[in-house]
Chains A and B, each alone.
Chain A
Amino acid sequence: MEITDVNTLFGAYPSRHPNNSADTLAEMMLANSVDYALTLSTLGLFHHDHVGNEETMAVCRRIQNLVPVATIDPRGYWGQADALSSVAAGYEMYRFFPQDQGWPVDSAAFRDILDAVPTVGAKPLMISVRVPGDVTRAAMVTSGYGNAVILEGVNADTLSEAISVMRTSKNIYIETHALRSPEALSVLRQTVGVARVLFGSGAPGMSLGASLRYIRGAGLPEADQQAILSGNAAAIWHGGAA
């Protein structure tokens, strides 16, 4: 069974994970039979988006199964054209980190980016959500976006909110690494189906083996597991968003 991990992040963290390199990620993928990982450098999250994006691209050229993801930091965006043109080519997704970077999900600068992004290609985007309210704000801000919007970090406290926005916005997906509850995947299956659920781990900082075991041990039919682990991602990147 092919496996695609849509949430990985390599490189140094300010306070932990000393061995969080792209090579560690590649080793983990090999050990867990993960075929592809969408990834980006922590430099782009914690230091500077352009610097991080360049490192991401360089690493993904070196390691074949890593798929490059670009990030844009709204705190440094005031409409300059080169902020977007540099992420236009070669990257397969845009990622945004409001909580880690300290800007609100409904930031006006973030809205400006979402308005401008289609001029260089409306690729799938992933936005981190952490606390109740983030999901609703993310859905409102991305309303009308012309590709998949993936919510990263949905947990037991925000699952009901995620289901609510998934019912009304058919381009909203969720990533699995923070779900944790034994029944969360079953609840998703019963409410909105699993076609918009994507496997993500947070590796190499977070345990890839634990995240995979969670999907495989959830008691879902084999076809649903396969959809979450790879089929849904393939539909986004090769078959268009639902």
Chain B
Amino acid sequence: MPIFDSHAYLADTSLSHAMASQQAVLSTMQRYKFDSVALISGTAASCDFVAGNQRLREVLSVDQGLYGYVTLNAGYPAESLEEQRKHLGRREFVAGLLFGHDGVPVTLADAREILNAQRRFMKPMAIHVPNAEAAIAMHEIAAEFPSMKFILLTMGGEDWHTAVAAAKRHVNLYLEISGTLDSDKLAYATSMLTPRKVLYGSCLPYSDPQLTIGLVEETKTLTANDRNRVYYQNAQQLFIVERESD
């Protein structure tokens, strides 16, 4: 079954070099039989989003299934608008991405200017949603931008019920499954939202893909078609097919 990993990092860590370079990423994809991956720059996520996006751009390759997110930063709106302009017109960048910082989640008030600008590129926006506070903040964002599709990376962490509730209320929210490995998480999310709203992600190199694959495989309520949607079709549709039709 093909897999599109919608949440992985181009990053070298002391524990793992599996995603440290383009060659390492390709080798890791081969090991886990991933067809495509949407990468986030580890440098951009942790520190310098401008330098990180540039480095990521040099690694991406549509022909090899290497796609990427343009990391933006609500604390730097002018620089973020410039990053959107520089990168988001390119095929290999499939979405924008916002992280909260210093324990504060992404909010509408902080991110409005960036989200407004995102509309002209007709691409989704991913938002890192590690807890209930971040998931609750998504209500306001999703309501303000109903035509924009949002991907909630890590789907609320331990507070995944809150993320599912947000996605139940707003049809433009999608959930990416890395985060906690609660045995009932996927069955609940897919029953509340349908499997069309759930995307496979690994969080490589910080987490072993075996874990999230195991989570999908253990969810007995999913049919083979459902699994195919979660593993591949939903990301393909969101990142590639809809963009090409636009």
Contacts and interface: CB of A to CB of B under 8 A. Distances in A.
B58 interface: no
Nearest to A17: B184
Interface stretch (B34-42, B105-113, B142-150, B199-207): B199-207
A205 interface: yes
A217 B183 contact: no
B16 A183 contact: yes
Nearest to A206: B181
A17 B160 CA distance: 11
B213 interface: yes
Contacts of A217: 208, 210
Interface stretch (B62-70, B80-88, B214-222, B224-232): B214-222
Interface in A177-216: 180-184, 187, 202-214, 216
Kindly name the residue among B15, B16, B161 whose own CB sees the greatest number of chain A CB atoms within 10 A.
Answer: B15
Q: Tell which of A15, A209, A217 has the most Cβ of chain B within 10 Å.
A: A209
A217 B211 CA distance: 9
A51 interface: no
A181 B12 CA distance: 12
A14 interface: no
Nearest to A202: B181
A117 interface: no
Contacts of B183: 17, 28, 203-208
Interface string B161-203: 1000000000000000000111110000000000000000000
Residue among B158, B213, B214 facing the most chain A CB atoms (10 A cut-off): B214
A18 interface: yes
Given A16-B182, A205-B182, A210 B205 contact: no
Residue among B183, B207, B212 with the highest chain A CB neighbour number at 10 A: B183
A204 B210 CA distance: 18
B208 A156 contact: no
Contact of A214 (B15, B206, B214): B214
Contact of A209 (B18, B205, B217): B217
Given A207-B215, A213-B214, A218 B208 contact: yes
Contacts of B204: 182
Contacts, number: 89
Interface residues of B, number: 26
B211 A210 contact: yes
Interface string B125-142: 000000000000000000
Nearest to A210: B214
Contact of B212 (A15, A210, A218): A210
A18 B187 CA distance: 12
Contacts of A212: 214
A166 interface: no
Contacts of B161: 15-16
Residue among B18, B206, B208 with the highest chain A CB neighbour number at 10 A: B208
Residue from A16, A182, A204, A212 whose CB has the most chain B CB atoms within 10 Å: A182
Contact of A213 (B205, B206, B210): B210
A209 B218 contact: yes
B215 A17 contact: no
B27 to A, nearest CB: 12
A201 B19 CA distance: 26
A181 B208 contact: yes
A183 B212 contact: no
Contacts of A17: 182-184
B78 to A, nearest CB: 34
A182 B214 contact: no
A79 B13 CA distance: 46
Given A209-B215, A212-B214, A214-B208, A182 B16 contact: yes
A182 B18 contact: yes
Contacts of A16: 158, 161, 182, 184
Contacts of A207: 181-183, 211, 214-215, 218
18 contacts: A15-B161, A16-B161, A156-B206, A181-B206, A181-B208, A183-B16, A183-B18, A184-B15, A206-B180, A206-B183, A207-B181, A207-B215, A209-B215, A210-B181, A210-B210, A213-B211, A214-B211, A214-B214
Given A205-B183, A206-B182, 12 more contacts: A18-B184, A156-B206, A183-B15, A183-B17, A206-B181, A208-B183, A209-B215, A209-B218, A211-B214, A213-B210, A214-B208, A214-B210
5 smallest A-B Cβ distances: which pairs? Answer: A210-B214, A209-B218, A213-B214, A217-B210, A182-B208
